[in-house]
Amino acid sequence: MTSFTFQVTKYESYKQGKLLASRIADFKIVCTLGINYIQVQFIGDCQFDITQRFELPVSNDSFDPDEIEDRFVYGRLTPEILSPFSRIKDYYTPIIMEKFKTQPIIRFLLPTLEQIEFYGFYE
């Protein structure tokens, strides 16, 4: 896996399968791989509530993301996050990122279990 830049042209947000928003966009998602993490940065005019720069763990011995059939997965969904007693205060920093292999889509999952899908192309 290598670092990459993704030019966003559209995004959609969903919660419990219901579409909340769908908008045309023009900004970049820059992802830089470290030894056991991926750093994600949004560059440009992001007109929604999401942390603009954060890191997600890469948690296996090969320092590669988990691989599920059609996507790579960074981060972890832990029981603490799903608990109604969760102490997570930052609802705008994603906990999981999925990078699809065959489609130009990047999906983030927020602690509120809202999904944000970004469409565009890799530079």
Going along the chain from its start, the domains and CATH numbers come out as 4-122 (2.30.29)
Q: What percent of the chain has pLDDT over 90?
A: 44
Structure pTM? 0.83
User: Is the predicted pLDDT of residue 93 greater than 90, yes or no?
Assistant: no
- Burial label for 9, CB within 10 Å (0-12, 13-18, 19+), is middle
Closest by CA position to 109, among listed 69, 82, 85, 70:
82
DSSP 8-state code for residue 119: E
Mean pLDDT of 39-49: 89
Mean pLDDT of 83-105: 78
71-75: strand order across its sheet: 53-57, 37-44, 18-33, 4-15, 114-122, 105-109, 96-100, 71-75, 66-68
Per-residue model confidence (pLDDT) at position 89 = 61
Look at strands 71-75 and 66-68 and give their pairing.
Answer: antiparallel
User: Is the predicted pLDDT of residue 85 greater than 80, yes or no?
Assistant: no
Helices and strands (H, E) in the chain, number of each type: 1, 9
DSSP 8-state code for residue 65: P
d(CA 101, CA 64): 14
